[in-house]
Structure 1
């Protein structure tokens, strides 16, 4: 159980002379001391609706210890939730806002099939929030595809220079969050970052698995018992005992013979 717990959070524990076990977090919060326990619970934060880890003492005190963890699977999940995912969400939101803005800038200058201009392809862009989660085409385009602008000429509704200009945005130079790039390169960099994080996590996991196996092998070499080895030693000692017994019997017989010879 302690091994399983140490895989979830970083803990310290020791056993006293009476066999009682004391367990505490690496931050010094007591979890178990003999028959006394202090519980950990999850409570939703009013600030961001994210759950926090709360340590409660037997005296009724409660302390948020979410940020005190230094290792374990729970620490990894908290880091992912509070650091990695928000960074990628910001990156994707910047991409969505830039894409919608650039497309609207081009689309609104063109003429639709029904001769209307000034129509945005995407809905209005909010100044805050997760735009990537709510990005959508404008009400006009959603109502009818006749509101899709394809030409810059009011007299030629069959031309497609606006459509081509929008298509060219994928490789055009743009600025996202102060970075000069293209949409193709920007999305590729996001994929590369995710791939790098995934690979690093896999390599780190393998490293710690190997380290754990090494430590457990060292522990077993000191405290572990090999049944095969003990059986081999038992047979060896039994054989030695039998040989010693035969030697004593022989010596006793010789001693008896000598005593009889002098009588």
Structure 2
């Protein structure tokens, strides 16, 4: 390679890295928990953030507080996804897609599975991720340095009793993340998976069990469970690292949770 070619290559790489799109992200699940904390973490670093969730009133408050652009949308609905893509495109586009929306419902044994709960978990955790990713891939490819980060769970790596539906949905999301990484490497898109263990958030356990007392028991006796801010800080670092650095899979747990089956509770 000639000196002139090397300089041209370096200038091209610099122009890609300096593009406003590469400091702009779509963050789903932004109305609460890890999604909301991720919006805050990225805005503190000066990113342009399109915060996506169904609850418009929460997004409006987050927008007023952080300067993020709130876009109410249901990521499982094709019309909403198309409208979201159009809004982001009109605003200049992004180079990073952060799929955080998801959740769990119920803790039934497989033999007693609630079909509606399972369908909801697959729709939100798997199909929502697929629909957003499919919609934004052309934009991410066009930046030359796109990033997709999927928030999965340690429930997508190790099964446990009473977790069949959530395990199945998160295992599927973990698998599609791996396939996406293989498929998009030729387009210079890095694909990151962040898989948290026990995280104490405002709504996750409450939404899963539908009862405040049951939700509190999940964290009972656990010293310093992870917080949404802890996970958001890891997400922020992963998407802010130099683009050639791909943190393929990050497993994050509190020290008290040595493994899925080993959680230290102090009475």
TM-score of the superposition, structure 2-length normalised? 0.21
TM-score of the superposition, structure 1-length normalised? 0.21
**Of the two structures, which has the highest relative contact order with CA contacts closer than 8 Å and spacing of 6 or more?**
2
**Which structure is larger by alpha-carbon Rg, 1 or 2?**
1
